[in-house]
Amino acid sequence: MFLNNFLNMRISSIFYAILFFLSSISYAQEPVDYVNPFIGTSNYGATFPGPIAPRGMASISPFNVAGPQNLPLEKDSRWLSNPYVHENTFLTGFSQVNLSGVGCPDLGVLLLMPTTGVLETNHLKYGSTYSNEIAKAGYYSTEIDKYNIKAAFTTSKRVGVSKFTFPKGKSNILLNLGLGLTNEQGAMVKIVSSTEIEGMRSVGSFCYNNPEAAYPVYFVAKFSKPAANFGVWKKPATYKGVEAQWMGYNGKTRLMDASTKMVVGDSIGTYFSYNFDKIETVEVKIGVSYVSIENARENLEKETANKTFNDVYKEAYNAWNQLLSKIKVEGGSTNDKTVFYTALYHTLIHPNTLNDFNGEYPEIKTSKIGKTAGTRYTVFSLWDTYRNVHQLMSLVYPQQQFDMVQSMLAMYDENGWLPKWELNSTETFTMVGDPASIVITDTYLKGIKDFDVQKAYKAMLKSADQIADNPVRPGLKDYIEKGYLTTENGGSVSTTQEYNAADYSIALLAKELGKTEDYKRFLNRSISYRKLFDKELKLLRPRLKNGNWYKPFDPLAGANFTENIGFIEGNAWQYAFMVPHDINGLKKLMGGNKSFTNQLQKVFDDNQFDMANEPDIAYPFLFNYVKGEEWRSQKMVAELVKKHFKNTPDGIPGNDDTGTMSAWLVYSMMGIYPISPGEPKYAITKPMFDKITIQLDSKYYKNNELVIEKTVNNNGYISQILINGNKQNSYFINHNDLVNGQILKVILK
């Protein structure tokens, strides 16, 4: 038996080695081949290494955050927002829907797990260590030590495909609907036949909030081989009354063999068991939907019927390569390319597809099923992504950005408000500010105009002006009357800054649309943060309801996500420069260029700069605002990239924030950065490749491509900037100049 298994193992190892070799040959050198999905799977990056199609609804992640073996990064012992942590070792399945790079837990459910031998339904007992992980864009595989099972995974947009290679003997494929990333519970399952399961799992309560909005993810699972036997397990709650004396089964797990009836419960699952007389593979396809079981089944059939695992992988591979190839980089090390393309990959996960294959999706708030001809996107972490992700989409993937804006406008139609932090058609209202206005303005001003801008403008004004019952802008009355929120509202300074930024975008759009009065009004509103500038500290500072400064005031308080009056996820230093639309105004407040430069440099010198969170991520580029100091931006950005972004699991500085950190890296390595969200302009720093070619979408841009080049002197600073060979004096470039020029050349010295 041992020999036999050993031989089998050897043969399969050789087989996989050959397969890997072949795939290396055929796929080598393509952008997709540089993607390393392990980047961000440690250091709270919160990405997962398993496969997802671009902006896929389904994704598969190895799930290794349950069980005491995984302490301290164990899901029930702390706030943990990801289904996989690279340094953990105890695997309890493969979740079929997942969020990437978020700071709050949700999804991480529908856990598929192959085992062998006698059926065991307790994940703490059936879990295992694992070895030989391989992760590529659209592909993940590992070997499950305890069972000598090879598990490989790929996905189409709405279907996860798992392929298990079992040794000879009794095997089981468990679908655990109880275990999940969060404390949200409840599932329904019905085995349709020996090759099919349908059901749902309740998810939600993102950020431990808004449990009323918990919602179902529906699924249909199809197995390539009929199970020899199957059933449902259910572990009911333990009954405590006097009748417990007659309930010999009290609290015990029930095995409902051959059950094809609907079963519901908090802790249920299915087992499909096999008796193999040789090594055998079983493929499991799981289609998901947020609308219905029928749609989950249709998604499965339309996307993967008659396709093998390899067919689906090939499609995912090609889809990824096509998107990633929109940016071609030359020069740079393999590691440079790896972190670059992996970052670009991470910006193409969220927002992700919500609609089913047939276009249906659950509307937000209305309880209706909507239908879209395009793509209905979801997972809008806008407080993060308004800063750079959507700017990257507008530049490289404008059709996607158009569909995202369309989705945001549909949310306004359905919910009465533009989204703030939307998740699978629930508005979580996480974080602060009014970021949708910035995203929409930014998109429009970059030339992506084929949406209903009048409706968008109306929606923006509603958020900006409606004082009563405004869930987007709490504290708006104070803001409008005083120019700032007071300490009556948490995060009063940060929120004032966010509203300023949003109002600036509204002003820009008003101007574009010829609404002069609005333009003036919002432009005026956009600089009200100045009332919070403490001249002594040269920092922004909270004010009380009576207008007095909040005191005692510690500008260092609030770092590292500790709660801090006046500031959200940061301290006064991390917010001091977060007025990207009014840096010249801020410079004046601070006493001019020199004082501004000193104060900004101090953030870095005193270790107040936090690369891992959004408020200050544009800081490194702000030296561009001071003539002669631009080299500091170039230096700082290069240092930060080198220090924080690596081809290792801890290669993202913190939560990827649905691609925001990654978008920062992509822009930084290209030597441009959207310095003032809403405003179509970029700061120019030093590109980290010799040549970068961005393929432009002919629907929105007249040129076919944009080239960014540099002279080869990696250690120098920019001495000249040329557009199509014409020297330019500014370290900023407008979007139009960028996309209408063809070559941005940076000469280093």
Closest among 415, 429, 517 to 462, alpha carbons compared:
415
- Nearer to a second copy (CB atom), residue 214 or residue 537: 214
Residues 6+ apart with CB under 8 A from 219: 96, 110, 197, 198, 199, 200, 201, 286, 287, 288, 289, 293, 296
Among 134, 214, 723, 747, binds a second copy (CB under 8 A): 214
Can residue 205 be called a binding residue for a second copy (CB under 8 A)? yes
Q: Least distance in Å: CB of 262 to a second copy? A: 5
CA 86 to chain centre: 18
**Cβ pair 66, 176 in contact under 8 A:** no
Q: How far is the CB of 435 from a second copy (least distance, A)?
A: 24
Could you tell me the smallest distance in angstroms from the CB atom of residue 231 to a second copy? Answer: 9
Using CB under 8 A as the criterion, what x/- string covers residues 165-194 for binding a second copy?
A: ------------------x-xxxx------
Kindly state whether residue 537 participates in binding a second copy, applying the rule CB under 8 A: no
Binding a second copy (rule: CB under 8 A), the pick from 7, 19, 228, 258 is: 258
Three-class DSSP category at 433: coil
Residues 496, 364: Cα–Cα separation, whole Å: 27
Least distance from a second copy to the Cβ atom of residue 210, Å: 8
Binding-site string for a second copy from residue 10 to residue 49, where x marks contact by CB under 8 A and - marks none: ----------------------------------------
Tokens describing residue 112: 């598929």
Of 286, 292, 428, nearest to 360 (Cα)? 292
Residue 343 CA to its chain's centroid (Å)? 11
469 binds a second copy, rule: CB under 8 A = no
Which residues have C-beta within 8 Å of that of residue 1, sequence separation ≥ 6? none
CB atoms within 10 A of CB 666: 28
Interaction between residue 353 and a second copy (CB under 8 A): no
If binding is defined by CB under 8 A, does position 260 make contact with a second copy?
Answer: yes
Which residue has 């397969």 as its token pair?
19
- Cβ neighbour number for residue 7 with a 10 Å cutoff: 10
Is the Cβ of residue 89 or residue 292 nearer to a second copy in the bound state? Answer: 292
Query: Which listed residue (51, 265, 649, 680) binds a second copy by CB under 8 A?
Result: 265
Based on CB atoms, which residue is closest to a second copy, 254 or 482? 254
Q: Is 475 in the site for a second copy (CB under 8 A)?
A: no
Q: What's 18-36 look like in SS3?
A: HHHHHHHHHHCCCHHHHCC
Is residue 247 close enough to count as binding a second copy by CB under 8 A? Answer: yes
Neighbours of 496 (CB within 10 A): 31
- Selected binder of a second copy within 131, 243, 481, 514 (CB under 8 A): 243
SS3 per-residue string spanning 242-278: HHHHHCCCCCCCEEEECCCCCEEECCEEEEEEEEECC
Residue 403 C-beta: closest distance to a second copy, Å: 24
CA 275 – CA 273 distance, rounded (Å) = 7
Per-position x/- string for 68-107, each x denoting binding to a second copy as judged by CB under 8 A, each - no binding: --------xxxx----------------------------
Give 368 or 535: the residue with its C-beta nearer to a second copy.
Answer: 368
Picking from 429, 425, 352, 445, the residue whose alpha carbon sits closest to that of residue 383 is 429
The reply on whether position 242 binds a second copy by CB under 8 A is yes
Scanning 213-221, 326-334, 401-409, 527-535 for contacts with a second copy by CB under 8 A, the matching segment is 213-221
Q: Radius of gyration (Cα) for the chain, nearest Å?
A: 27
CB of 242 to a second copy, least distance (A): 6
Judged by CB under 8 A, which of 222, 234, 350, 473 binds a second copy?
234
Query: Can you say whether residue 658 is alpha, beta or left, with left for phi > 0 and alpha for psi between -120 and 50 degrees?
Result: left
Q: Which tokens go with 152?
A: 């490989």
Closest CA to 95 of 58, 133, 150: 58
Of 259-267, 465-473, 504-512, 521-529, which part binds a second copy (CB under 8 A)?
259-267
Q: How far is the CB of 200 from a second copy (least distance, A)?
A: 5
- Is residue 6 near a second copy by the rule CB under 8 A? no
Of 292 and 714, nearer to a second copy (C-beta) is 292
Residues within the interface to a second copy (CB under 8 A):
76-79, 183, 185-188, 200, 202, 205, 208, 211-216, 218, 234, 236-237, 239, 241-243, 246-249, 254-266, 362, 365, 367-368
